[in-house]
Amino acid sequence: MNLPRGYISYNQVKLYQICPQKYYYTYVEKIPAPINDKVFLGMVFHAVAEHFLKERIAGREQTKDSVLQVFDDKFLSLQDDYDIVWVMPSADVEKRGLAFVKHFLREIANAIDPLMVEEELEVELPGLGIKLKGIIDLVEKDFSITDFKTTTTKWTKEKINNSYLQMVIYKYLFEKSFGDVITQLKFRIVYAKGASNIRNQLVSRNACDFDIDKMFGVLKYVTENISSGVFYKNESFFCGYCEHLDRCQKASSVQTP
Ligand code: SF4
């Protein structure tokens, strides 16, 4: 099957589901697009959590100040890798990020017993002839999988339900690589609009409650459409945040469904 990256991933599926034409601009045309400061902050937070948890696995001691220093270093160095649209002043974004990391250290870190961090896995999907790839934020020693999210508000039930495909994909990747051991699938969401009143939400579900057949159905539908060149505009409120809006308004659909 002909896929632009040679594999499918949750991020690709999510983007295709939001808008096939946006998928086309991003993965087929590879048109570079800036990221907003919230997405950037999420990347920095992930990089800090990864560093912290890998150091814990290695048994190296870390102080609050050393972790905050890692945040400052990553916040600066990662700016070289991305074209960022600063909606808020960068100093305010940095303050919010530091508050997120302090909250993580105070409220979340002690409860984590890491086994694997940022583990990249790839398996061949039987019957579909394609590779499925993913990077799992955290697998703990109780064989639970966690994905960290940073956002402005608490996730709704609808948002949680719509996001669980990501965790089912991670469970599938892990179990095909290491055996059927996964117990829980968790989202750990750190949220606040600014640098104060930081909260976190833990959403946890039993791993066996999820339907792998359903996951296969979604992956089959999306990959067959991509392979056949089915890319159409799916106009929605997401267009207001779309970095390809100007280009899209001047273009017709690449292909209608
Ligand atoms: S502007 Fe809307 S329809 Fe166009 S590519 Fe972006 S999300 Fe899709």
Q: What is the DSSP string of 120-172?
A: EEEEEETTTTEEEEEEEEEEETTS-EEEEEEESSPPPHHHHHHHHHHHHHHHH
Determine, yes or no, domain membership for 182.
Answer: yes
Q: Which protein residue's CA is at the shortest distance from atom 2 of ligand 1? A: 239
pLDDT of residue 62: 94
The predicted structure's pLDDT at residue 1 = 59
Print the domain residue range for 158.
114-221
pLDDT per 10-residue tile (average), the chain, 257 residues:
92 97 96 95 98 97 96 98 96 98 98 97 94 98 98 97 94 96 96 97 85 92 96 93 92 64
Assign residue 120 the CATH number of its domain: 3.90.320.10
**What's this model's pTM, rounded to 2 decimal places?**
0.93
135 falls within a domain: yes
Does 140 fall in a domain? yes
Of 18, 25, 239, 252, best ligand 1 pocket probe by most atoms within 8 Å of the beta carbon: 239
| Residue 124 belongs to a domain | yes
Q: If you take atom 7 of ligand 1, which residue's CA is the nearest one?
A: 239
How many domains does the chain divide into? 1
Assess if residue 186 is contained within a domain.
yes
Instruction: Give the pLDDT score at 68.
Output: 98
Ligand 1 centroid to 234 CA: how many Å?
Answer: 6
pLDDT at 252: 74
CB-based pocket (< 6 A), ligand 1: 19, 21-22, 233-235, 238-239, 242, 244-245, 248
pLDDT of residue 19: 97
> Does 139 fall in a domain?
yes
Whether 100 contacts 198, CB under 8 Å: yes
> What angle (nearest 5°) sits at the alpha carbon of residue 52, between those of residues 168 and 79?
90
